[in-house]
Amino acid sequence: MAAVFFHHVVGDLTVGKPAVAELHDTDTLEAAARAIAASPEGAVPVWRPRETPDEPPSGARFLGMISTLDIAAFVAAAGIGDRAMGSMVGEVVQPNPGLLREVDPGTRLIDALDLMKQGVKRFLVRKNGTWRGISKRFSVLYYGKWLKNMEQASPSSASSSSQLSSSASSTYKFCCLSREDILRFLIGCLGALAPTPLSPISSLGAINPHYCHVNASAPAMETIQKVPPDPSAIAVVETALDGTRKIIGDISAYKLWKCDYVAVAWALANLSAGQFVIGAEGNESTPISAIPEPPISSSPVEEIRTGRSPRAKKFSSRSIGFLNSQAHQMAFGRVRSMYRGRSTLLTCKSTSSLAAVMAQMLSHRATHVWVTDEESEEDGVLVGVVGYTDIFNAVTRSASLVTS
């Protein structure tokens, strides 16, 4: 199992990855929304502008990451509706250079995983050129034999390659590797990782019991301020008399991926956490306003734009972009990116296998899965959460023992 992590390098995962498309702190939130829609984790890196047109990306120019939650919270606090999307990214992003690490493509996968377990969320990797590493690329799992290592090349060819790399340093292209890229690679190596992937997550210690949660009656705007950095999610629960918590939904960067930020901002400012995560479809018979809560306005866009007096009405998940809506797609004179099905809560049992949880995260492009109690008589009793870091810790534990 440990061979997978020691015989592959970061460069092995860059095949097919597009070059970095930089989002600068001088760009607008509208541009950030488009960049996030193309991102796998609901957040994108933010860079300082280049000093010269041909300056390559570098860790020195990296500022931090901006997520869907950051944009939604800013628009809700600004209270100026769609105009807030014209604000600059630099007004919203929180500086955190530790979220991205520039690494050599010859960095061992085991070392890269250690960095991600320490909080790194993106790797900036040189995509073209050659490197001298210990990688046995496309290993015995795929071709039946190891390919020749770069270290086995003749001295003359190695020297010429080094000179070529030096002369072409200014033309290097870079790509960003996310945690999803790492997870996708791991799920393609399940056979080599056996028996760990088939083991229950409870036996692997992959369940994080220290999750963040709020009661459904809490204001959604206050809730969004409590969302932790990793996983960037907070559970919305109903607490029983015995102290058990039943999860009814969550507020997370993943759930708001490809959303209508103006409508989300209205919902955050006007609804409780429970109303925000559940909503009510327009054809439901029971209005969401039946839950005790301050009255909400007639339209998420109209209230922000016109300041009309609020009145009670049904709240639809369509209004915050969870479902496709022709009217909302054409709002404000342009087509907005929408996503279908993000209102579904992702859960698993404590007895679920690690492979099942990994596949669930990849199929939904999620950053976490909530874990419910297998033995509880009532469904949805929350016991923890599984995120990227928990999975990386589980799959590398045996490799760490080998290293020791």
* DSSP assignment of 238-254: EE-TTS-EEEEEEEETT
pLDDT value of position 153 = 36
Q: How confident is the model at residue 322 (pLDDT cuts 50, 70, 90)?
A: very low
Q: Return the percent helix, strand and coil in the chain, to nearest 5.
A: 40, 15, 45
Backbone angles phi, psi at 56, to 5 degrees: -75, 165
Q: Which two tokens stand for residue 8?
A: 């592959």
pLDDT value of position 372 = 94
pTM: 0.76
pLDDT value of position 216 = 93
Among 190-204, 320-334, 388-402, which is the least confidently predicted range? 320-334
Most confident of 78-87, 141-150, 226-235, 325-334: 226-235
Backbone angles phi, psi at 138, to 5 degrees: 50, 65
Q: What is the mean pLDDT of residues 69-77?
A: 91
pLDDT value of position 355 = 95
Q: What is the mean pLDDT of residues 172-192?
A: 90
pLDDT at 122 over 80: yes
Cβ-based neighbour number of residue 86 at 10 Å: 10
pLDDT at 100 over 60: yes
Q: Which two tokens stand for residue 94?
A: 């929180």
More reliable by pLDDT, 163 or 121: 121
CB-based burial of residue 240 (10 Å sphere; 0-12 exposed, 13-18 middle, 19+ buried)? exposed
Q: Which two tokens stand for residue 290?
A: 């039946």
β-pairing, 245-252 vs 368-372, is unpaired
pLDDT value of position 49 = 92
Cβ-based neighbour number of residue 142 at 10 Å: 11
pLDDT value of position 380 = 86
Q: How far is Cα 115 from Cα 132, in angstroms, rounded to an integer?
A: 21
pLDDT at 280 over 50: no
Q: How confident is the model at residue 255 (pLDDT cuts 50, 70, 90)?
A: confident
Dihedral, 20, 21, 23, 24 alpha carbons, nearest 10: 80
Q: What is the mean pLDDT of residues 140-159?
A: 36
Dihedral, 62, 63, 67, 71 alpha carbons, nearest 10: -140
Q: How confident is the model at residue 374 (pLDDT cuts 50, 70, 90)?
A: confident
pLDDT value of position 343 = 56
Q: How confident is the model at residue 121 (pLDDT cuts 50, 70, 90)?
A: very high
Q: How confident is the model at residue 35 (pLDDT cuts 50, 70, 90)?
A: very high
More reliable by pLDDT, 309 or 222: 222
